[in-house]
Amino acid sequence: MRIIHDILGKHIRHVHNTMHCLVPFPRLWQVHLLPINATCADEHPSSAQMLFSFFLFYLLSYVYGASTSSDADAADPLAGVVSHFNVNLTLESLVDNLANLSFTASNPLIVEITLDRVAVSAGVGGVEYVSFDNTFGTPIVVPILGTADSGVIENVALTQDGLATLDIVPDGFLDILNLDLFLREATIGGIGGISVNDTGLTATDISTTWVTPFN
């Protein structure tokens, strides 16, 4: 246990004269702070419990230390959450300037994430063509290092109008000019987690599949 204390001490600087003894609790993992010279003999943790406890502590440290803002998108893994667009243009879209859209959500983290709301401004050459702000009735659960489909988002605004949007279809990509994410990290099956609002993200060359009346 003294070795574990030394390792944790590298991450928690204010721990000087205490050590962590993590033991199973009926519902959660309970943390006892004991004097440095004390032992955990009374708790009788198994090696597996000790390893799991250390992993859990490391996981929580990682999540709490995750960035909730994006001063530099290159350093923010959440900038890549939206990894592909599917946009469906109909003849009606060319008149009312609205489309249906879905996207692939990718999770770059080693914890499950759950998307509650996503706002996107996307376009080409710095010009916005697509915009939406959607709160999901059923939040999107994205597994560790995995992907999930957003489901269809209806009435997405074609801000340069439907006919002008046809001009960018052959490009096959959209740049994300602004991405606001409202999500929870370290959820379990979409339940609980730590709320994170990551706004002002950008990304380029997001592959886009267009379905139009002409293809």
pLDDT tens-digit series, residues 31-81? 333 343 444 444 444 555 544 444 554 454 444 444 433 333 556 899 999
Residue 126, sorted as left (phi over 0), alpha (psi -120 to 50) or beta, turns out to be left
Class of the 73-211 domain?
mainly beta
What pLDDT sits at residue 33?
38
What pLDDT sits at residue 215?
80
**Pair of tokens at residue 48:** 């597996």
What pLDDT sits at residue 35?
43
The domain spans of the chain are: 2-64, 73-211
What pLDDT sits at residue 50?
46
Q: Which residues of the chain have pLDDT under 70?
A: 1-75
What pLDDT sits at residue 73?
57
What pLDDT sits at residue 19?
34
**Pair of tokens at residue 110:** 């080693």
